[in-house]
Chain A
Amino acid sequence: MTGHSPDDHDARTDGGTRTRDPPETAPDDFQDTGTRLVSKIPTGARAVRYAVAVGIAVLWVVPLLGLLMASVRPLEQIIQGWWHIEGMTVTFQNYAEAWTFKSGPMRQALFNTAIVTIPSVLAVTLLGTMVAYPFARFDFPVKTGLFFLLIVVMAAPPELVAMGNYNTLRATGLFDTYMGLILVHIGWGMGWVVMFLRNYLLGLPEELEEAARIDGASRYQIFKSIVLPYSMPALVSVAVIQFTWVWNSFFFPLVFMRSTDKKLAPQVLPLMKGRLQIDWGLVAAGSVLTMIVPIVLFLVLQKYYKRGMVAAVAD
């Protein structure tokens, strides 16, 4: 025991109680309740860090908190400042107005957004996996060229494909239809989805597929019963991220959806500003209705969302 200070807990071998605070990284399970409680009370520099961290996090949500407050208050109170709590009246009038807003009722707009988002996300996830699988597993002549195209599309702004797609949809009668916008979203999402799933599949071991192949399974059976189930976590990540992007997307609907009853929710929001005095309550209620879906999805499937975001950039 020479060379160690008497309270060096690492040196204890008799299983006695620790005499020093455990390191910050120690798993909770290995500590008794008392130690855990004590270690929870931060001291000195650490307390300052907590204060700063919480302060910054709160500061970060203040603008969104303001939006939420404005959505449930009458306009006179919003103009006085949503941060004044005294005399606050809660009303759902703004939501009622947004729901039936005449240049694009939220009732219809949210329905339209769902009608476009759900099929385009499901389709791009399935079709994307089907492209990514041979891409990750087999060699074929145009592979490098395809890889390059995927990269270019990932870098390209959506504006670059707007003109061509506008003419295509006009020519095929798909302009201002759900199907037209769905197809544009599928084609546009394909770039990152294929790249993401290809990277994921490259990391999956091939042994299972080979074993199934030797057992006489066809390539389609292998895809259905091995590749798809094993890719599930990645597929959920793709679907969640793609869902938020399509749901939130503004530019494509703005260009391709024109009639009032076809407008998507994000598209309607700027119309709520009005001409002179902005009706903040209406704008806020519409915004909350639109953002609630991706935010709830994010909160519920956070794990997949974060993992996907990180993998999408880290790979």
Chain B
Amino acid sequence: MSSTDLFEGGFGADVDWEKTKAILIFMAPGLTLFGIFSVGPMVYSAWGSFYVWDAFTVQQFVGLDQWVATFTDDAIINWSNLASFTYPMGALPQNLIWMVIHVPLSTVLGLGLALLFADLRGRRILRSMVFLGFTTPTVVIGLVLLFVYDPQAGVFNEILRTIGLEGQVRNWLQEPQIAIYALIAGGVWVQTGFSMLVYSSALAGIDPSLLESARIDGAGPFRRFKDVIWPLVKPVTAVVVIMSTIWVIRIFAIVYAAGGPSGGPNGVFSVLGLEVYQAAFSIPIEYGKAMVIALVELIITLPMAWYIARMD
């Protein structure tokens, strides 16, 4: 087999070496770093999840043992608490609960606000106000939530006092069965800005004469939304949902700032990211377990990334 045959499929018989060299020179530096610091470590984790680790050093192959051990670990899935729906249920169910509430809520709120602001004067300022949280470091968001839910200094409890619910005043992030919902509310607060921004630009692309003619034809606000606006913003919705899901599955700093590395008292609002950090970087070091949990995160988000790629 000659060397040209090797490239038969891609380059055709006459290889343009000048072009090949240019491509290599352009791509080599970026792809080298991409390979060493992104692709390499991912492959490393996928491979390492089938091995036993002694701290940071790989030992012998154990097949799926590490995976089985992780799925029976109370910190990841607490099966008995899950059956009775009592927190802590483990990081995986809690992360999924977060996703199931957060994603639809922030998407719908974002669309609602985009529609509300769409043709108002000063909409730019209004949008920036709602979007501000999304440009704030997530660790600050976590600390802000801690502050908001503080029994004395927190504005949320002050609102409860003002509307006559003194009895309800408490540190919401210390309540095992409620804390996660308090945090999810904070996540929605931040993410709504993002989905509002994306929807706003989709709405701006709608031809106003289309809405006008629908109005003239006697379509009410609901019909106008359903027949004119929705079909045009529907493709954007898929992307908003996917981006929010990826954001939630990766969530880390908010939870860390609000409840420390353990994810609140007894890990009642722990998420997958925190468990990876705990397993890999706090004593006892369990590298294999950390790799399995991180791969679980990838398995959840990969189909969505695949969907985005297919849309192209």
Chain A residues with a Cβ under 8 A of chain B: 23-25, 40, 49-50, 52-54, 56-58, 60-64, 66-67, 70, 78-83, 127-128, 130-131, 133-135, 138-141, 146-149, 151-168, 170, 183-184, 186-188, 190-191, 194, 219-220, 223, 244, 247-248, 250-251, 254-255, 266-267, 269-270, 273, 278, 280, 283-284, 287, 290-291, 294-295, 298-299, 302, 305-306, 309-310, 313-315
Contact = CB atoms under 8 A, between A and B. Distances in A.
Contacts of B308: 151
A67 B146 CA distance: 11
B77 interface: no
Interface of B: 7, 9-11, 19-20, 22-23, 25-27, 29-31, 33-42, 44-45, 48, 56, 113, 116-117, 119-121, 125-126, 128-130, 132-133, 135-140, 142-148, 150, 152-153, 155, 158, 189, 192-194, 197-198, 201-202, 208, 212, 236, 239-240, 243, 246, 249-250, 252-253, 256-257, 260, 272-273, 276-277, 280-281, 287, 290-291, 293-295, 297-298, 301-302, 304-306, 308-309, 312
A40 B121 CA distance: 8
B189 A63 contact: yes
B30 A57 contact: no
A78 B153 contact: yes
A305 B128 CA distance: 11
Contacts of A57: 125-126, 129-130
A138 B19 contact: yes
Contacts of A24: 119
A31 to B, nearest CB: 14
Nearest to A167: B56
Contact of A61 (B132, B146, B240): B132
A188 B3 CA distance: 35
25 contacts: A60-B192, A82-B153, A131-B34, A138-B23, A152-B298, A156-B38, A157-B301, A158-B250, A159-B280, A159-B297, A162-B290, A163-B41, A163-B44, A165-B37, A183-B33, A190-B34, A244-B135, A248-B139, A251-B277, A254-B256, A270-B139, A270-B143, A270-B257, A290-B137, A310-B197
